[in-house]
Amino acid sequence: MNINELQVGVIGGTGEEGRGLALRWAMAGARVRIGSRTAERAQAAAAELNPFVVNNPIGHGENREVVAEADFALLTVPFEHAAATLEALVPDLRPGAIVIDITVPVSFEKGVGVRYAAPPEGSASEHLRARLPENVPLVAAFKTEPAHLLVDPHEKLDCDVLVAGGDKEARARVIEAIRFIEGLRPVDAGPLASARAIERMTVLAIGINRRYKIKSACYRVMGL
Amino acid sequence: MNINELQVGVIGGTGEEGRGLALRWAMAGARVRIGSRTAERAQAAAAELNPFVVNNPIGHGENREVVAEADFALLTVPFEHAAATLEALVPDLRPGAIVIDITVPVSFEKGVGVRYAAPPEGSASEHLRARLPENVPLVAAFKTEPAHLLVDPHEKLDCDVLVAGGDKEARARVIEAIRFIEGLRPVDAGPLASARAIERMTVLAIGINRRYKIKSACYRVMGL
């Protein structure tokens, strides 16, 4: 894989997760475009990040524009908007594009804090998978990476990225591309149903952050 | 906590998990007894481990005998026998004892491998919690530690132990006691419902072992 030729389109890329992943993949050399419902917001997000990008500056556009040329369409909107956003963009996806889902469905409960809100399909990734045409591969990744770390170019990363998906070839391509990001190690987490574990690990990390008064809990698989 | 005074009773302690945890806590200095349905099998397991234990040699007995004097009653039978085993031992538990649940419910599916078999309560720990008197605290721990690593005294451990439970004081005692085991770091995983994430992490690790042809995948929480 030539990372300089990889096109990444970040759907809803003006949020912290979206900007963070846009930054990290752009720092790794990929061609990244931030998408938004309004092109101006995408432009502002890209302008904020580009001082830290050496090679290909981050581009911008409306969501449908950035997915039209993307090898990876990175879905970074909050889970509650993910299905509708994705379904609306299906006609615009470049043939052969891989959808990367980073969403985690959570609910807030008074006194308890953040809770995992399991979709009926078992996980957010399976919920979204059920709403995509069969020939569009969907891969779960980056679900356990802390957004505020990703978005800060001065933060050194030291986390594993658990990568799951039913299409082995698509999963392998995402794994290969993540290897170019400094400080992140992709781990093959197998079938998409692994997202049931991975999404809950995110909520577990949020609880650990709260109990230990830290902000950046993430995971490493040991023994690998 | 004086680790030399901590009494640990290992229910069904002749299996790999049970022997492994008996060994590691005995190496840490605790007073450990291995329990079994038949005292002879418990004796054989203790005899096999004791060459590696410096301080208090590991004792043995029937399950009901070892829980009668245990501060920690460690439930290490396979999940399918856990509820019945535990319920039968409730009258024998020493007052104030903490039950530590390490079980993970799995099923094998042809072509798919190991799958998580979620109990109706959401996790094995919650399933067992519902079958215990309210005044007996139950803490989930050691669910993600590879048994074959624990049981080999020559293996250096390097894993986090995710510890969950509704009784904060009991959880804190278990966390404190785990600190004495070399190579294991306890992490406060909060309420018992966190077992839903933790048990699935075990199944995820089994899949990672299979895909990477390794045997010892476990987890570390980074940023802590």
Look at residue B207 in the predicted model and tell me its pLDDT. 96
Q: Which residues of B36-70 are buried (b: 16+ CB within 10 A; e: fewer)?
A: beebebbbebbeebeeebeebebbbbbbbbbbbeb
Asked whether residue B62 carries a pLDDT value surpassing 80, the answer given is yes
CA–CA separation, A145 and A134 (whole Å): 28
Q: What is the amino acid identity at position B50?
A: N
Condensed to tens digits (0 to 9), the pLDDT of residues B6-48 reads 999 999 999 999 999 999 999 999 999 999 999 999 999 999 9
CA–CA separation, B89 and A65 (whole Å): 65
Q: Compute the mean pLDDT over every residue in chain B, rounded to the nearest whole number.
A: 96
The region that residue B219 occupies, defined by phi over 0 for left and psi between -120 and 50 for alpha, beta otherwise, is beta
Look at residue B55 in the predicted model and tell me its pLDDT. 83
DSSP state for residue B115 in the 8-state scheme: E
Q: Which residues of A147-184 are buried (b: 16+ CB within 10 A; e: fewer)?
A: bebbbeeeeebebbbbbbbbbeebbbbbbebbebbeeb
CA–CA separation, B167 and B201 (whole Å): 22
CA–CA separation, B103 and B98 (whole Å): 15
CA–CA separation, B69 and A127 (whole Å): 49
B114 in contact with A at a CB cutoff of 8 Å?
no
Residue among B146, B189, B196 whose CB faces A208 most closely: B189
> Residue B151: CB partners within 8 Å, gap ≥ 6?
B16, B19, B20, B23
CA–CA separation, B4 and A92 (whole Å): 66
Condensed to tens digits (0 to 9), the pLDDT of residues A12-65 reads 999 999 999 999 999 999 999 999 999 999 999 999 999 999 889 999 999 999
Answer for the pair A20, A150: CB distance below 8 angstroms, yes or no.
yes
CA–CA separation, B145 and B156 (whole Å): 12
B146 contacts in A (CB within 8 Å)? 223
- The ipTM estimated for the assembled molecules is 0.96
- Helix H or strand E segment including B55: none
> Residue A47: CB partners within 8 Å, gap ≥ 6?
none
B163 in contact with A at a CB cutoff of 8 Å?
no
Answer for the pair B29, B4: CB distance below 8 angstroms, yes or no.
yes
The region that residue B142 occupies, defined by phi over 0 for left and psi between -120 and 50 for alpha, beta otherwise, is left
Closest by CA to B1, choosing from B67, B59, B69, B71, is B71
Best of B175, B192, B208, B218 to substitute, by most chain A Cβ atoms within 10 angstroms, is: B208
Question: Can you name the residues that pair with B60 across neighbouring β-strands?
Answer: B34
Other beta carbons within 10 Å of A28: 21
Closest by CA to B217, choosing from A141, A162, A179, A208, is A162
- Helix H or strand E segment including B216: none
Q: Do B216 and A207 touch (CB under 8 A)?
A: no
Confidence band for B108, pLDDT divided at 50, 70 and 90: confident
Secondary structure class of A221 (helix, strand, coil): strand
Q: pLDDT 10s digit of each residue in chain A, 224 long?
A: 899 999 999 999 999 999 999 999 999 999 999 999 999 999 999 999 999 998 899 999 999 999 999 999 999 999 999 999 999 999 999 999 999 999 999 998 887 789 999 999 999 999 999 999 999 999 999 999 999 999 999 999 999 999 999 999 999 999 999 999 999 999 999 999 999 999 999 999 999 999 999 999 999 999 99
Q: What is the pTM of this model?
A: 0.97
A with B: how many residue pairs have Cβ under 8 Å apart? Answer: 101
Confidence band for B112, pLDDT divided at 50, 70 and 90: confident
* Sole residue written with tokens 């990363």: A157
Residue among A203, A216, A221 whose CB faces B219 most closely: A221
Q: How is residue A201 written in tokens?
A: 């690990």
CA–CA separation, B135 and B125 (whole Å): 16
